[in-house]
Amino acid sequence: MTFGESISTCFSKYATFDGRATRSEYWWFALFTFLASVILGMISETASGVFSLAVLLPSLAVGARRLHDTDRSGWFLLLWLLPIIGWIVLLFFATQESKEPNRFS
């Protein structure tokens, strides 16, 4: 999946928490949100904040779909609330390959 396809897919599945997301889809979208936030932050903190709020739901959705692709529940996203340890665990989960067979379609 290319950079543009990833962004298009994530915004077309704005609040779709079911299904699966490939590694490339997840990481291209993460790169897009990071770069856009940094660029908007240089222009205006308000613009960066509004953008971050606008992409919060699609970011959570693609995160849940990425966890589904590794055969884990989307509820594991709550690990993000645990500083350092939770972040490392989620980073590990997001970098793993897809698992087949998988209980998520």
51/72 Cα distance (integer angstroms): 28
Structure confidence at residue 11 (pLDDT) = 93
CB atoms within 10 A of CB 102: 13
Which residue, 94, 105, 77, 80, is CA-closest to 25?
94
At residue 30 the predicted structure's pLDDT band, cuts being 50, 70 and 90, is: very high
User: What digits encode the pLDDT tens for the residues 35-61?
Assistant: 999 999 999 999 999 999 999 999 999
Distances 29 to 12, 18, 68, 79 between C-alpha atoms, Å: 12, 17, 17, 20
Specify the 3-state DSSP secondary structure of 104.
Answer: coil
Structure confidence at residue 105 (pLDDT) = 65
Structure confidence at residue 104 (pLDDT) = 75
Query: What is the pTM (predicted TM-score) of this model?
Result: 0.88
